[in-house]
Amino acid sequence: MEERERAVMEDKIQRGKKWLETVLALMGVPASVNVSRIEEGENGTVSCWLTIDQTNLSPTVIDALIGKKGENIDSLQYLINVLLNLNLPENEQCTYIIELNGYRLRRQAELMAIAQRAAEKVRLTGMPEEIRHLSSVERRQVHNFLAKAGDLATESYGSEPDRRLIVKLRR
């Protein structure tokens, strides 16, 4: 990575960190944010993991920030991604992932297991398998997990809040 690219990336990281700390402060949540990791995808996309420090947070506050089925943390993550990438060309955007109490890592493992079970069932039966109750971010993750499987295809159908992901054999 060139010096200029590093500086641009550092600016994106700091903007994300500052934005999330400001929102948490406005919510009355006394937490700092740490950059836990940076991931570069195959297509040049960059993901920045922003981890909320839970040291001074009660279990009740942690649960409220994550929300039922991750709805609150997903909403915060959606807002940061929309607002901080607004009007930026696609190649200059950064994907911000907000982590708290290991929620994202646990959910990623759950999604991987769901995707693998669906793939196995489709391969065994030859019939399409429907996966329900996923957020748009989770559907995208499952699409990405299964994209490497040459024998399978995925697609989403329906309208929110009842949008579904279908796993089927590739034709």
Question: What digits encode the pLDDT tens for the residues 116-167?
Answer: 999 999 999 999 999 998 888 889 889 988 988 889 999 999 988 889 999 9
CATH number, position 163: 3.30.1370.50
Question: Do 143 and 158 fall into the same domain?
Answer: yes
Shared domain for 96 and 112, answered yes or no, is: no
Q: For the chain, how many structural domains are there in total?
A: 2
Verify that 96 and 110 share a domain, yes or no: no
User: 142: domain range?
Assistant: 106-169
pLDDT at 89: 84
Q: How confident is the model at residue 1, as a pLDDT?
A: 55
Per-residue model confidence (pLDDT) at position 43: 59
| Residues 121 and 94 reside in one and the same domain | no
111 and 97 both lie in a single domain: no
88 and 123 both lie in a single domain: no
pLDDT tens, position by position, 73-95 = 999 999 999 999 999 888 788 88
Share of the chain above pLDDT 70, in %: 96
Amino acid at 108: Q
- Which pair of tokens denotes residue 96? 């911000």
| pLDDT attached to residue 114 | 96
Q: How confident is the model at residue 44 (pLDDT cuts 50, 70, 90)?
A: low
Q: Are residues 55 and 96 in the same domain?
A: yes
Same domain, 59 and 116: no
Q: Are 35 and 48 in contact (CB under 8 A)?
A: yes
Distance (Å, whole) CA 77 – CA 82? 9
Q: Which two tokens stand for residue 112?
A: 């991987």
Same domain, 157 and 121: yes
Query: What value does the mean pLDDT take over residues 95-107?
Result: 94
Q: Which residues share a beta bridge with 33?
A: 52
Q: What is the DSSP string of 70-134?
A: GHHHHHHHHHHHHHHHTT--GGG--EEEEE-TTHHHHHHHHHHHHHHHHHHHHHHH-S-EEE-S-
Dist. CA 96–CA 50, nearest whole Å: 7
Residues 11 and 93 in one domain: yes
Q: Which helix (H) or strand (E) segment is 20 a member of? A: helix 3-26
